[in-house]
Every structure is written in C-alpha cells, then in structure tokens.
C-alpha cells in the first residue's frame, strides 16, 4: 500500500492531486487543512468514490511549525513511511513590497516555504533509510518571473523553488526523486470571483495529471521541473 501525503489537500490543486492518486487505489492518503469541515467532506467524498483508498485527516495550520510537526507525527503512527509527499499548501495575498501590510512576508514565508521545509525534514529520515520516495513541491510560475502585485508571494515562491533544487541534489544519493511544479493561473480559491472565461485558466486536474505522470516514470528518471501555463498565456 502506497502512503501519499498532500498538504492543503481539500481544495484546488491539492484536492485534484489527492483524487488522482486515490483513483489508482491501494493507497492511504494523508491530507491536512485548517478547516475541519473541509477535511471531513474530502474524506467522505474520496472514500466513497474510491473504496480501496483510505483517507486520514488532521486539522493543521501549516504556518505553525508545531502543527506541521504534529502532522508528521500523525503520519508516522503505525510505522507509515511516505511514498509521495506533495508540499502543496500555500497562501496568496496580492500586494507590492513597498506598501503591503506589515507581517505579510512572514505569513507567506511561514506558509509557503517553512511548512514544506519542516514537514520534509520530519518525514525524510525514514524515506532516506528505505532509499525511495518522491517529493513534489508546488511552486508557481511566480517562482521564476516577478509579476506585478506579486510582492511577498513571489519572494516566498522563489525561495520554495530554491529549496526544491537544493533538496533534489541532496536526495540523489538516496534514490528519492524531487520535482518542482510551477503552475501558471489555475482555477482555485485564489481566483474565486474572477470574471474570466473558464478557458482562460488551467484546471486543477491539469496539474494533477502531470504530477501523477511524473510519479509514474521509471525509477531511473525524474522530471525535475514541471512548468504549466494557460494556453493563452499568463494573467
């Protein structure tokens, strides 16, 4: 049985990734979110659709190191060793460095970078001992290009891409694959209320399909960077 971990797995890209792994069956999926109701709904829907998949949930504020480490302890119960870790949870608050509210940088660094750093470090020892696994860090096209009104979000996503690249080099000797996923505009809560045609943004499932395809490669190959953009270009 495969052990899959997806942070922020109740909505958007995280939910789509959890769902595509659930479809493959014979897996146990751990998801976290700040909202207990969202977790309960995700567990019920995923298990009803895919009876051979077990979904385990824990309320977690990923901006809190203590919460992240408690989630790692929850995963490790009963000797679980992670096969796939998807560091997906994140937050986007638009603004400019010169005028965004005080504390925005700290919030987005804690949520978008430190959550991945602390959870990965907590889960890695058992993965390294077994010498297998795949880590996906959900970065952003804003990890490569500074966009207007990107502010601290772009800073945090540049940092997450750097973390991912360093981790890739360090994990080669342990046969652990590391992939950076850099999606452009994708329908999610970040775009809630936007008056745009459906075709203008990518679907969350588009990202999930590519993550699963990268995972399904042979052990001798790794897709280091997955860059996806809307067909009509960035927004």
Domains, in order of start, for the chain: 2-228 (3.40.50.720)
In angstroms, the CA 232 to CA 228 distance is 12
pLDDT at 165: 98
Give me the count of residues in the chain.
Answer: 235
Residue 212: pLDDT above 80?
A: yes
Q: Percentage of the chain with pLDDT > 90?
A: 88
pLDDT at 216: 97
Residue 235: pLDDT above 90?
A: no
pTM of the model: 0.95
| Arithmetic mean of pLDDT over the chain | 95
pLDDT at 129: 97
Residue 194: pLDDT above 80?
A: no
In angstroms, the CA 225 to CA 204 distance is 17
């Amino acid at each position: 049985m495969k052990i899959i971990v997806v942070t922020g797995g109740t909505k958007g890209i995280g939910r789509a990734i959890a769902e595509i792994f659930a479809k493959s069956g014979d897996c146990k999926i751990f998801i976290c979110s700040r909202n207990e109701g969202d977790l309960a709904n995700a567990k019920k829907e995923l298990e009803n659709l895919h009876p051979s998949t077990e979904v385990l949930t824990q309320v977690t504020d990923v901006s809190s190191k203590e919460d992240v480490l408690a989630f790692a302890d929850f995963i490790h119960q009963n000797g679980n060793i992670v096969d796939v870790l998807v560091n997906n949870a994140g937050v986007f608050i638009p603004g400019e460095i010169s005028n965004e509210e005080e504390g925005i940088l700290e919030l987005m660094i804690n949520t978008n970078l430190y959550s991945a750093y602390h959870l990965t470090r907590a889960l890695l020892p058992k993965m390294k001992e077994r010498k297998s696994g795949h880590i996906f860090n959900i970065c952003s096209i804003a990890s490569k290009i500074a966009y207007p009104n990107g502010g601290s979000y772009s800073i945090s996503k540049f940092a997450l891409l750097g973390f991912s690249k360093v981790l890739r080099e360090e994990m080669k000797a342990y046969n652990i694959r590391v992939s950076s996923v850099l999606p452009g505009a994708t329908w999610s809560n970040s775009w809630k209320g936007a008056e745009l045609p459906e075709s203008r943004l990518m679907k969350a499932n588009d990202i999930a399909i590519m993550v699963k395809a990268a995972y399904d490669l042979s052990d001798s190959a790794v897709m280091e960077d997955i860059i996806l953009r809307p067909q009509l270009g960035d927004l």
